[in-house]
Structure formats: structure tokens, C-alpha cells
Structure 1
Amino acid sequence: MNKFKHNTSKSAIAIDVWVTKNKTAELREECIEIQRIIRSDLNKIIDLTSNCKAEASKLISTLHECKGKNDKLTEELKLKTEQCNALKLQVDELNFSDLEITMEETDKEKEKASDK
């Protein structure tokens, strides 16, 4: 930002020297107006640059927060996936033959009850 101000000063001095050598009042007035416009535009650029820098800092902070949340969610997902896989293995190891026998016995008991 100081770079802009420094360059503006150099430009203003160069224009002043040129106008002073030529000693033209009309040119001097035009140069002063041009200098004013240049300073105004550069100040706007400096303000916009500052605003952009502040916004970029906010976005970087938000990005770091989101990355942290993403890492945490990734770890939770990994843990849940491991738990699901462990449960799937337990279910695969279950023996359902006892359940089928119980169901058959229940069906036979129902038939006996309906026969009575």
C-alpha cells in the first residue's frame, strides 16, 4: 500500500517539475486536477485492497475451521464404518438354525391349539 503512495508522490513531483519548467497556468491547473484524480483513484484502490485482504483473512480462517470439522467428521465416519463392519461380522457369525427350530415349534403349537 505504501508503494502506491510512494509512486503517487513521485508522479506528482514529476508533473510539478514539468509544469514549473513550462510555466503554463492552464497546464498547471489540469495537472493539479489529474493529480487529484490519480490520488483519489489510488486511495480507492488502497481501500479496496485492504478490504480484500481482510476478507481473504476471514475466508482463510473459515477454511481452517471447515478443514478441522471435516477432519473430525472423517474420523467419526471411519469409526462408524469400523463399528458397522464389526456388527456385520457378528451378524454373519450368528447361527439362525435355533431360531428356525423355535419357529417350527411355535407353528406346531399353533396347529395343536387350533385343532382343539
Structure 2
Amino acid sequence: MSARPHMAKLDDVTRFAEGLTNDYLMCRTWAHSWDPGTSAVQRTGGRIHWTVECSTCGTTRTRVMTPSGSIVGNRYAYPEGYQSGGIGRIGQRGLATIRMESLKRIGGA
């Protein structure tokens, strides 16, 4: 039986959201905008590694696939300051807090 992940406290998520840049906050609110113009493909160890970059925040995503296109997994590389710094897993209430910080910044809350 696996242990439940440590969940972030709402106060910690609020502080985290308030410290995010507008670009990072946008990606956390709406998800990444993968730029096809940044596509790079490598074939290594019998796998295809297809990498793209987010045009908003600079995160890179590498999709690892079999030669027939089945997905083996995804790997992400985040820019400095994007990740939550070990406060724990951000649950639904925390994600709502992040969305509200985003709305506040655009004058919608």
C-alpha cells in the first residue's frame, strides 16, 4: 500500500501563488502553450524523445515514445521559480486559489 502524498496547506499555496510571475501563473491557470516551432526529436535506445517548449513560461516537455508511437512517459524541465518548492501536492482547493490569484491580477476578482 502506498502512502498518500503530502498535501500543501492552503496558506502555503496562497503565498506561492502571490510570488509567481504572471507568465508562470498563466501556465498554472490555463496549462502550457506548447510551441511546435521548438520541436526537437532524438532517437536513443530504441525510443523516440520528442521535446517541445512552452512559449509562455519556458517549461520543456519531452515525450518518450516507442518506434510505433506508443507513449512510454513524459518528462518536464521547469524554469527556476516555477515549481512550488516542496510545499506539498497542490489539491483542488489550492488550484482554485491559484486561479483566483490569476483573476485578481487581471482585475477580474
TM-score category (smaller protein)? under 0.3
The structure with the greater share of residues assigned to strand is 2
Structure with bigger gyration radius: 1
TM-score by length of 2: 0.20
Give the number of the structure with larger relative contact order, counting CA–CA contacts within 8 Å between residues 6 or more apart: 2
